[in-house]
Structure 1
Amino acid sequence: MTPDLAFLVEVLVGGLLSGVMYALVAIGFVLIYKTSGVLNFAQGAMLLFAALTFVSLTERGIPFVGALVATLAVMALLGLAVERAVLRPLVNQPPITLFMATLGVAYVIEGSAQLAWGTQVHGLDLGIDDTPLDIAGVFVSRFDLFAAAVAGLMVTVLTLFFRYTRTGLAFRAVADDPLAALNTGLRLPRVWAAVWIASGIVALVAGLLWGARLGVQFSLSLVVLKALPVLVLGGFDSILGAIVAGLIVGAVEKLSEVYLGPVIGSGIEGWIAYVAALGFLLLKPSGLFGVRGVERV
């Protein structure tokens, strides 16, 4: 492999691995949107809250596994509380009302976190060495490989859960046709509660990975902005779309930064995905795997 080709592969692999982490954040949005049509802007705050909870427990001497289990329980309860206290009373309200409600929830969660833990930056060490790994002449970050493996495992678990468990089948039924699911006897509030709990668990995994990479700080909640182009490209209601679009966005960002950055200017990695998403909206508003809405009059 020539040096130029090796460098190209290295950049591409790095982008794809970053894209997996983008997809993990986007999946939290997809879970809520598929069942209730709510764009959960509080997902970033939940991600931050999970990372802060875990770090605070480990800093108090609680072992890694104990802190992980405790944080898992906290995030499940947080997801359930948001669904019960905020979203359930607003059922059948206009989408903009639900969106504003999740925006308010985001500020409440962030404010509560600030009161509890302050605003200082916390380090988060998952015990993964970030030194490059030489694979056939291509250097790949060990942490990126670990993060991609964890994200892939999370996607696999969610896929198996929604395909083979009773709750998962109920979720799919509600996502396909809420009225038909209600007529068959499914209890929609129970399904919505389960999905919000799952969203909290996804936020925990994403929060730990992004917290280990960027540090646990309040700007961590802005990671959700990275998920928006992924949702536009993949479709707001497709887990597969979130995965594929995450890979595309990650690759586009890295390749643009390396090959177009010297020509256009530095910082292109921060906005090129939004340009791609805007252009894609003009061609296919429902996304690569999204379902186009049909209205009958």
Structure 2
Amino acid sequence: MDLFFQLLINGIIVGTLYGVVAMCFVLIYKSTQVVNFAQGEFLLVGAWICWSILIAFEIPFVFGFLLTLAFMAALGIFIQMVVLRPMIGEPIISVIMVTIGLSIFMRAFSNWVFGQDTVGYPDVFGASSINIGGLQVQPAYIMSFVISIIIMAGFFYFFRYSRHGLAMRATAFNQQVAQSLGISVKHVFAMAWAISAMVSALAGVVVGMVNGVSSALSFIGIKVFPAVILGGLDSIVGAVVGGLIVGVLENMAEYVDGQFLYWGNMLTIAPFWVLIIILVIKPYGLFGTKDIERV
């Protein structure tokens, strides 16, 4: 039972991280109607940039982390302006292919610049694990959980009360109506990509601190996609719930596999079984908006 509760706690903590990355998917989709398949590469680039700053300049982690967020915000705006903005008005499949091509380019460029070997972050916390109620939890995961909760609360406040959040909600509802109200749709798009890149980088740094940084980090973007579909592609609340479900499901699948089935790959395939089931039963997800088209 100790192993069961250990994996359950890990699943909840990892699930909050998945929820944060899933919110990045939803943020871009709600504001631009684009599914960003390069989301995992934002995690990878953010992790590499933070690692490079810490190694090259030997500055405290907090300052390196803040510099990474600033760089990723600028990168997100640059990608939206240079790569995505010329695709406005093009067929949606063309835009999706552009994001897929962007993901391949970013991964290949990262491998070329930083190599493919797994490297670890400098020791930040000074302790390998912390005992909480008899369970051993890594400090990076605790930091991840706290920051994820703060980000979720920040997203709620941003969309509900802030001027920019209301502008983004209006743009997601109808771009032409938003423009008629004086909202700059281009600025909303750039802001969505900047926020998405920053938050993804945060997740990448946390995972990199636990497991090291390598090109495999970008696979998290694909692992989170079932959480996005499960919760609903246009629902922030659904992204959080879907992330928690997938995080717990992964760890419970690992427990069942290790104790009873001995298949060896349940941790990897469990989220995608959920993806298939939810698409068959409820294609719009648990909280997604059903889109009715009349011909």
Q: So what's the TM-score if we normalise by structure 1?
A: 0.91
Q: How many residues align?
A: 292
Instruction: Determine the C-alpha separation between the residues in 2 that align with 1:13 and 1:123.
Output: 24
Identity of aligned residues (%): 34
Task: Give yes or no for contact 2:140–2:206 (8 Å, CA) kept in 1.
Answer: no
2:53 matches 1:57: yes
**Kept after mapping to 2: 8 A contact 1:14/1:141:** no
Which residue number in structure 2 is paired with residue 265 of structure 1?
263
Counterpart of 1:113 in structure 2 is 110
Q: Is the 8 A contact 2:80 2:190 kept in 1?
A: yes
CA contact (8 A) 1:130 1:143 kept: no
Q: How many Å separate the matches in 2 of 1:287 and 1:157?
A: 24
Q: Describe the superposition over 1:157-195 as per-residue Cα deviations: whole angstroms up to 9, x where unpaired.
A: 222222222111101111222232122221111110111
1:10 equivalent in structure 2: 6
Q: Which amino acid aligns with 1:236?
A: L
Q: Distance in 2 between matches of 1:62 and 1:163?
A: 40
The answer to whether the 8 A contact 1:133-1:142 is kept is no
User: What is the match of residue 245 of structure 1?
Assistant: 242
Q: Is the CA contact 1:44–1:223 (under 8 Å) kept in the aligned structure 2?
A: yes
Structure 2 residue aligned with 1:83: 80
TM-score, normalised relative to structure 2: 0.92
Deviation at 1:264, TM superposition (A): 5.5
Tell me what 1:225 maps to. 222
SS in 1 for 2:99: helix
CA RMSD of aligned residues (A): 1.9
Q: Determine the C-alpha separation between the residues in 1 that align with 2:189 and 2:85.
A: 9
Match of 1:275 in 2: 273
Could you tell me how far apart the structure 2 residues matched to 1:138 and 1:56 are?
A: 32
- 1:39 equivalent to 2:35? Answer yes
Change (3 A) 1:282 1:189: same
- Structure 2 residue ranges without an equivalent (≥5): none
| Alignment check: 8 A CA contact 1:20 1:151 kept | yes
SS at match of 1:292: coil
CA contact (8 A) 2:234 2:289 kept: yes
CA shift digits 1:41-83 (9 cap, x unpaired): 1111111111111111111124123322322221111101111
How far has the Cα of 1:113 moved from its partner?
Answer: 2.5
In the TM superposition, 1:106-185 aligns within 5 A as 106-125=103-122, 127-128=124-125, 129-135=127-133, 137-185=134-182
Q: What is the rounded CA distance, in whole Å, between the counterparts of 1:24 and 1:92 in structure 2?
A: 29
Shift of 1:140: 4.2
Per-residue deviation at 1:201?
Answer: 0.8
- The alpha-carbon distance between structure 1 residues 265 and 132, as it changes in their structure 2 partners (threshold 3 A), is farther
Q: Separation in 1 of the partners of 2:212 and 2:222?
A: 17
**C-alpha distance in structure 1 between counterparts of 2:40 and 2:193, whole Å:** 14
Distance 1:126 1:134 in 2: 21
CA contact (8 A) 2:41 2:107 kept: yes
Out of 201, 204, 215, the position equivalent to 1:204 is 201
Indicate the larger mover: 16-25 or 76-85: 16-25
